Amino acid sequence: MAEKIDFIVLWVDGADPEWQKERAAFCPDAVNNGSDVNRFRDWDLMRYWFRGVEHFAPWVNRVFFVTSGQVPQWLNTAHPKLRLVKHEDYIPSQYLPTFNSNVIELWLNRIPELSEHFVLFNDDMFLTAPVGPEDFFKNGLPMEMALMDMATAPDPGDCLPHMQINNFAVINRHFNKKEVLKRNAGKFFTYKYGRELLRNILLFPFQYFSCFRDSHLPSSYLKRTFDCVWKEEGELLAQCSHNRFRSKSDLTHWLMKCWQICEGNFEARSSRWGRHFELWEDEIEDICSSLEQQRYRAVCLNDSKTDVDFDHIKQRLTESFEKILPERSAFELEEMYIERKSVI
């Protein structure tokens, strides 16, 4: 492996009474859609994230576990690869406390000891099959899908399309679409995207980028990309950092991803590498089947609805993860593992 690759994962225990109390103290009466219960509830699957890393990516350099200061009882904090990172360790104090994942992600390049090459996971993204460094970086560049898309909104209260527009207002200010596509034609128009390639062809004639498709999968990054965007747009990023909850005025870490793509600092990845799922009741059996058969190298289990049978879905997901990752990892304390196995 030519370069050291770190993993970063963000986590929050939404059931923590102290965290709930602090959140309530700062939460305004009206928040776009950034304060729904599903944004913070914990499915108790994090141990399977660590098992997946140990079992499927043993080559990883370090794991940065980023929280507001919360630590799961079962986590082995003495693991040599593990680094516990509090928001206050790298985010300036004037923006804290924050309950906005966008803010937490915008400042990642300031994490002490972080390698130039790193992969960002949210706590709903899991490795479910063996992966190598080349799944994330090739020739020193991030593996990525450059899939053009259009920003749309099924719900007027959804802040995601606004974030996409905000990101691409910045992108279109710094990059000329025609020149980007000309320089990187082989990366935008490749058979690796399968049927998804058609979208790139259809959107080719438009003058400006609208957005790139959000795959909701682990994101490979060069730390210098964050440094560059902060140098160019630091004032705007700092302004967004005042948003303690998700807001329609947010920028996101996807700005850095799109910046890398427009610079040509990526290698094309197959669109079949991973899969994004919504945790809906009528989808759960298909999701569990995909997990158990290990159809994808990585999956995202997105919690997008509040009105679901939480306990049933949680039970089915736990059963499926136990089938592919039944053994305790070195990231778990043994006594907590024994106690949990007696309950399952």
Give the CATH number for residue 131.
3.90.550.10
Whether 243 and 93 have beta carbons less than 8 Å apart is answered as no
Residue 178 is assigned to a structural domain of this protein: yes
Q: How does the average pLDDT of the chain come out, rounded? A: 93
> How far, in Å, are 158, 192, 248 from residue 243 at the CA level?
16, 38, 10
pLDDT tens-digit map of 149-188: 999 877 877 889 999 999 999 999 999 999 999 999 999 9
Rounded Cα–Cα distance for residues 316 and 318 (Å): 5
Residue 341 is assigned to a structural domain of this protein: no
Residue 314 is assigned to a structural domain of this protein: yes
pLDDT at 214: 87
Instruction: Look at the chain and report how many structural domains it folds into.
Output: 1
pLDDT at 335: 75
pLDDT tens-digit map of 196-244: 999 999 999 999 999 999 889 999 999 999 999 999 999 999 999 999 9
Whether 303 and 216 have beta carbons less than 8 Å apart is answered as no
Print the domain residue range for 150. Answer: 5-325
pLDDT at 344: 61
For helices 284-293 and 310-324, what crossing angle results, to 10°?
10
Rounded Cα–Cα distance for residues 241 and 238 (Å): 5
Band the pLDDT of 42: cuts 50, 70, 90: confident
Band the pLDDT of 38: cuts 50, 70, 90: very low
pLDDT tens-digit map of 279-315: 988 899 999 999 999 999 999 999 876 777 889 999 9
Residue 336 is assigned to a structural domain of this protein: no
Q: What's the number of CA atoms in the CB half-sphere (13 Å) around residue 178?
A: 3
User: What is the rounded radius of gyration, in angstroms, for the C-alpha atoms of the chain?
Assistant: 20
Residue 338 is assigned to a structural domain of this protein: no
Q: Is the pLDDT of residue 265 over 70?
A: yes
Residue 109 is assigned to a structural domain of this protein: yes
Residue 334 is assigned to a structural domain of this protein: no
Mean pLDDT, residues 70-85: 97
Cα dihedral: 12, 269, 202, 194 (round 10): -110
Residue 180 is assigned to a structural domain of this protein: yes
